[in-house]
């Protein structure tokens, strides 16, 4: 269902009005995508389109906005069984957070009343951020945030690997699913996969199959599939 209680964009806009509308639309798209996906999962592009297109609008109005979000890495597309899926990246979460909290942000709700669904999405985002902030404070890691670059990921992944290997006596074979879960929402699933494979390509980690007697569907999903379709369950650090 679309956000029908919001004011739709006029048919024609000046370049200045278009720039303002685009800036607001990007935040609204990211907020809806975060709500649909729970901040983790990929969702059907069609489901996202249904959420963002308002009364008297068409999906064509959002092609430019979606294209820019994809170009900047805020959202990522994939094709599964001929269905286009879209995912909110770690960078996308940063863009969303900045767009909602920044005093310089152009984002605001249009009209005298916002759609119930979008309003509830915003409330969920606020509560999620408050909860995440509380957890970080309790752990004494108030400066922990999203991982937005390969170099940042590399440092975190090595630290997580070393900690798990040491604390759980894993004999230099650390399950990838445990690394993914330890890093958590600081990085998107696609970035985790891409950057971990990059660390293998540069001989930092060797990703291995090995014995997997405790494998379960959720652990398999949180492991990694290398090009060619083979599951890799463990990571082994090379030349520590």
180-221 confidence digits (pLDDT tens) = 988 988 888 889 999 999 999 999 999 998 777 778 888 888
Give residue 162's pLDDT.
92
Give the pLDDT score at 124: 60
List, for the chain, all residue ranges whose pLDDT scores fall below the cut of 50.
1-10, 104, 106, 111-114, 130-143
Distance CA 225, CA 222 (A): 10
Alpha carbon of residue 123 to chain centroid: 19
Pair 201, 235: CB distance under 8 Å: no
Quote the pLDDT of residue 117: 58
* pLDDT, position 125: 55
Which phi and psi (to 5°) does residue 84 adopt? -80, 120
State the pTM of this model: 0.48
Q: What is the pLDDT of residue 199?
A: 93
185 DSSP assignment: G
> Which residues share a beta bridge with 43?
86
Q: Are 118 and 171 in contact (CB under 8 A)?
A: no
- Beta-strand runs (E) in the chain: 43-44, 75-80, 83-88, 174-175, 205-208, 224-226, 230-232, 234-237
pLDDT at residue 213 in the model: 78
């Amino acid at each position: 269902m679309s956000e029908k209680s919001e004011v739709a964009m006029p048919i024609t806009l000046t370049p200045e009005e278009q720039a303002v509308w685009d800036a607001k639309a990007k935040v609204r798209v990211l907020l809806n995508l975060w709500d649909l996906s729970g901040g983790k999962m990929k969702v059907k592009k069609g489901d996202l389109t249904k959420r963002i297109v308002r009364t008297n609008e068409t999906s064509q109005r959002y092609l430019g906005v979606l294209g820019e979000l994809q170009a900047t890495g805020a959202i990522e597309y994939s094709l599964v069984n001929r269905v286009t899926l879209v995912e909110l990246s770690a960078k996308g979460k940063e863009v969303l957070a900045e767009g909602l909290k920044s005093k310089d942000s152009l984002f605001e709700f249009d009209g005298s009343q916002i759609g119930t669904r979008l309003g509830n999405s915003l409330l969920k985002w606020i509560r999620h951020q408050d909860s995440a902030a509380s957890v970080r404070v309790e752990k004494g890691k108030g400066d922990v945030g999203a991982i937005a670059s390969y170099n940042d990921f590399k440092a975190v992944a090595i630290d997580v690997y070393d900690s798990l290997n040491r604390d759980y006596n894993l004999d230099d074979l650390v399950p990838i699913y445990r690394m993914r879960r330890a890093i958590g929402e600081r990085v998107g699933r696609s970035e985790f996969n891409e950057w971990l494979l990059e660390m293998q390509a540069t001989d930092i980690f060797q990703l291995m199959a090995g014995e997997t007697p405790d494998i379960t569907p959720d652990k398999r999903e949180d492991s990694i599939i290398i090009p060619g379709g083979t599951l890799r369950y463990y990571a082994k650090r090379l030349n520590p």
